[in-house]
Structure 1
Amino acid sequence: MRPDPKQVIASITKIASLPDVCIKFSAALRDPKTSNRELEEVLSEDVAMAARVLRIANSAMYSFPSRVDTVSQAATVIGYKQLNDIVLACSIINMFKGLPQDVVDMESFWRHSISCAVAARIIASHRRVANIEQYFTAGLLHDIGRLVIFVELPHRATEILSKSKRTNAPMYKLEQEVLGFDHAKLGGILLKSWKLPKRLVDSVAYHHAPARTHDYMVESSVIHVADIICHALKYGESGERFVPDLSESAWESLGLSIDVVSPVLDQVKIQAADVVKSILQDA
């Protein structure tokens, strides 16, 4: 009997609601009376998170000419909304600690996810969008549904992994065959249960099939292409051993010249390792 994806999420959200620091920081940002000092105090309640934010602000992803030493400075130079997206993305990493290494190599999983986040942000920058950090967040969380499968459906996960090795078929296609849904859809349901923006939900839910979302095809396509780039570069993995197929319509929706591929790859190679180290140092 195939599992119901909504019931799978209902079972995990009993222990996996958004972290307090993320909720408090987002609420503080929505209050126009909140000062920089108060924002810093909220984030400083989680010392590891504050340190992680500062390491990211000082990473190759931003390459600021002078060092960023406080959360207030980070908010000023990165931007408040962008900082909120980074806090959201990074706080979720701690929620899946402790998974058995024989099920999934978490260091490799997050290395792939963070690299995808960096690649998505770089691709978005070439499209000159206003808030490129939202693409960083979507890239970081694009495979979170696979972690849910590993946690809640370990026997099915083992079946899918074994079948992938035996048949050389991509895992996301076998998930659909075995479960009736794939990790992308499951991840979208999880993010929706957290009441995150639909733009982020769709970017994750449709990153293997961007044409299936009517509202956010470009956003989903950015994650689709970023994921393919990081698989091709072998920057970690989430269990998937194959480079996903590129959707021609997804690439066309980005409106980018093929000439941007080489500089995007160069930028990913420069930035990814530094950002991975910044985020995973105390994870």
Structure 2
Amino acid sequence: MEIASLFDQLHTLPSIPKVAQDLILQFDNPNSSLDAVAANIEKDPVISAKILRLANSARFRGARESTSIQDAASRLGFNTLRTLVLASAVTGAFKAGPSFDLKAFWMKSFEVAGISRVIAKQTGADAETAFTSGMMHNIGELLIQTGAPDVAERFNSSAKGNTAGHVASENLRLGFGYPEVGAELARRWNLPKVIQEAIAYQARPLQSPEGSSQPTILAQAILVADALDSHGGLTDEAKAALGNPLIEKLDLDALFTALAPVIEADKAFAQLLA
């Protein structure tokens, strides 16, 4: 199968709402103000409801309840708003069949995103680009679920493997894996090229364009996430399992220390949006 054929089999291409696209551009504009962003959020009732729900959650709730988007935006702050708006737009664009665990899918997506952000901060790369790339790293899987349901069913019913093994299996059966599909969707959504490249080269970062750090960050984050999932979280066993040469330059002690609050926060996002 060709990737173009997969997209042709979709009845409609998943799309990000226009308001969300405008908001993403606002967040990337250094001249944007929190008030202007809040005014734009008010145009989308679904995103507005999620913003208010998060602002009034145990993690952010103050002495009183937030009843307006302006107040909620002030309470949450710019970076949290950016994360929630983007996540709401992306998660709302997809559906999946009954055999696919969509909640677990988004939990893993946010886990990789949070780890990507921490690694980027520690290595001096763009942390928000890393988070976005991490959150969207496996969206190609959702396209495969929709456009190639027979193959997807076989993956869903088989035992869970590691990320590299899953990509290899898809390549064997389809001729491509979810990284290539996700990169093509990112291209059709007109997302920045740096995000397209991070998604496309996540399973082969050493082949990424020269000077591009995001594919390596994403690949490192996926390896860390897989280790955490296989060894009970931020444990010594998980740390010991990270013997991949791609991880050698990371300070794992500092990384694991920084990850504890991050993973809990991103679980809350995933549960809110799932």
Same fold, judged at TM 0.5 (above): yes
Structure 1 pair 124/51, CA: closer, same or farther in 2 (3 Å)?
farther
Residue 78 of structure 1 aligns with which residue? 78
Paired letter, 1:121: R
Structure 1 pair 164/35, CA: closer, same or farther in 2 (3 Å)?
closer
> Could you tell me how far apart the structure 2 residues matched to 1:126 and 1:13 are?
42
> Could you tell me how far apart the structure 2 residues matched to 1:94 and 1:202 are?
23
Query: What displacement does 1:275 show?
Result: 1.8
Q: Are 1:101 and 2:76 matched, yes or no? A: no
Residue 153 of structure 2 aligns with which residue? 158
Residue 110 of structure 1 aligns with which residue? 106
Query: What displacement does 1:204 show?
Result: 0.7
Residues 159-197 of structure 1, C-alpha deviations (whole Å, 9 max, x = no match)? 44567779xx91211111111111111110110111111
Equivalent residue for 2:213, pick from 215, 218, 226:
218
**Contact 1:90 / 1:279 at 8 angstroms: preserved in 2?**
no
Paired letter, 1:78: F
Residue 268 of structure 2 aligns with which residue? 277
Residues 73-94 of structure 1, C-alpha deviations (whole Å, 9 max, x = no match)? 65xx536xx8556533431011
Any idea what SS the aligned residue of 2:267 has? Answer: helix
Q: Percent identity?
A: 22
Residue 41 of structure 2 aligns with which residue? 43
Structure 1 pair 181/30, CA: closer, same or farther in 2 (3 Å)?
closer
> Could you tell me how far apart the structure 2 residues matched to 1:30 and 1:263 are?
29
Residue 173 of structure 1 aligns with which residue? 168
Structure 1 pair 39/181, CA: closer, same or farther in 2 (3 Å)?
same
TM-score (norm 1): 0.75
TM-score (norm 2): 0.77
Residue 123 of structure 2 aligns with which residue? 127
> Could you tell me how far apart the structure 1 residues matched to 2:207 and 2:6 are?
23
Q: Are 1:264 and 2:261 matched, yes or no? A: no
Residue 14 of structure 2 aligns with which residue? 16
Structure 1 pair 85/203, CA: closer, same or farther in 2 (3 Å)?
farther
Q: Comparing 29-38 with 45-54, which one deviates more in the overlay?
A: 29-38
Q: How many pairs are equivalent?
A: 253
Residues 124-170 of structure 1, C-alpha deviations (whole Å, 9 max, x = no match)? 110123x311111110111111111111101112344567779xx91
> Could you tell me how far apart the structure 2 residues matched to 1:30 and 1:165 are?
37
Q: Are 1:208 and 2:203 matched, yes or no? A: yes
**Contact 1:59 / 1:275 at 8 angstroms: preserved in 2?**
no
Query: What displacement does 1:122 show?
Result: 0.5
> Could you tell me how far apart the structure 1 residues matched to 2:157 and 2:87 are?
30
> Could you tell me how far apart the structure 2 residues matched to 1:173 and 1:245 are?
20
**Contact 2:117 / 2:128 at 8 angstroms: preserved in 1?**
yes
Q: Comparing 25-34 with 262-271, which one deviates more in the overlay?
A: 25-34
Relative contact order (alpha carbons < 8 A, sep ≥ 6): 1 or 2 greater? 1
Structure 1 pair 32/221, CA: closer, same or farther in 2 (3 Å)?
closer
Unaligned runs of 5+ residues in structure 1 are: 236-243
Calculate the aligned-residue CA RMSD, in Å: 3.6
Q: Comparing 151-160 with 84-93, which one deviates more in the overlay?
A: 84-93
After superposition, residues 30-69 of structure 1 pair within 5 angstroms as 36-50=34-48, 52=50, 55=54, 69=71
> Could you tell me how far apart the structure 2 residues matched to 1:13 and 1:38 are?
36
**Contact 2:119 / 2:221 at 8 angstroms: preserved in 1?**
yes
> Could you tell me how far apart the structure 1 residues matched to 2:242 and 2:167 are?
11
Unaligned runs of 5+ residues in structure 2 are: 61-65, 231-240
Paired letter, 2:268: K
> Could you tell me how far apart the structure 1 residues matched to 2:111 and 2:58 are?
13
